Amino acid sequence: MASNWCKRLAGLCSTVAAALAAALAVLLPGVAGAEASSGAYTVVGDAIPFPLNGAKGDAARGREIILNRHVGLCLLCHSGPFPEERFQGTIGPDLKGTGARLSEGQIRLRIVDPGRVDAAAVMPAYYRSEGLTRVAPAFRGKTVLTAEQIEDIVVFLATLRD
Ligand code: HEC
C-alpha cells in the first residue's frame, strides 16, 4: 500500500518537474553565460559539498573559462600555472596549488559566493543573483556564470595540486 503511494507520488513529482522545466525553458530568455537566478545549494561549514547542477564538471572547459578574459575574468585578479598568458593579476592569491589547499566543496563556495567565507571578500560572487547593489539593468537578477561553468572551474582548480 505504502509503496504504491510512493510510486504514484514519484510519478506525480516527475510530471510536475517536467512541466516546470518546460515552462522555465519558455520563460527564460537565452542569456549567454548567465543564469536567471542562482539555484538552491547547501553550505556545510565553509564548503558547498555537492555540485550545483548535480553533475561533475569538465576540467578542460574550466581552464578555458578561467583564461577567457570575456567570461571568467579570473586573471584580472589571479595568476596561476598558465605559462601562455602574459598578463596575470596579483590582487587575489595565486591559483597554483588550489587543489592541495582546498577541497572541491571549499573551492565551490569561494567561487559561488566568497562573502560567505569572509564578509570583507574582494572577489565577486559568481553565482549569486540577490543582495547585490548597483547592478546594470540588463544583468539584474542574473548570475555571472552558470552552475555548469562553476562546476567546470571547480574540477579544474581541484587538479592544481602543486
Ligand atoms: C576582482 C578580483 C577577483 C576576481 C575577478 C576573481 N577573484 Fe578569486 N579571489 C580574489 C581575492 C582578493 C581572493 C581572496 C579572498 C577575498 O578577499 O575575496 C580570491 C580568492 C579566490 C579563491 C580562494 C583561493 C585560496 O587559496 O584561498 C579561489 C579558488 C578563487 N579566488 C578563484 C577565482 C576564479 C576561478 C575566478 C574567476 C571565475 C576568480 N577567482 C575571480 C579576487 C578575485
Determine what percent of the chain is predicted with pLDDT higher than 90.
64
3-state class (DSSP) for residue 113: coil
Q: How far is CA 36 from CA 31, 39, 69, in A?
A: 8, 9, 22
Q: Which residue has the cell 522545466?
A: 21
How many angstroms is it from 153 CA to the middle of ligand 1?
12
Cell of 114: 566568497
pTM of the model: 0.81
Ligand 1 mean position to 78 CA, how many Å?
7
**Distance in Å, CA 37 to ligand 1 centroid:** 21
> Average pLDDT, stretch 101-113?
98
Who wins on pLDDT, 26 or 49? 49
Q: Which amino acid is at 78?
A: H
Mean pLDDT of 100-126: 96
Q: Where are the domains of the chain?
A: 1-30, 35-158
Cβ of 23 less than 6 Å from ligand 1: no
Question: Which residue, judged by its Cα, is nearest atom 2 of ligand 1?
Answer: 77
Does residue 47 line the site of ligand 1, with CB under 6 A? Answer: no
CATH architecture for the domain at 35-158: Orthogonal Bundle (1.10)
The predicted-structure confidence for 14-35, as pLDDT tens digits, reads as follows 444 444 444 434 443 333 456 7
Closest CA to 112 of 122, 98, 124, 100: 124
Residue 126, Cβ neighbours under 10 Å: how many? 22
In b/e form, how buried is each residue of 69-78, taking b as 16+ CB within 10 angstroms?
eeebbbbebb
Residue 13: the pLDDT is 42
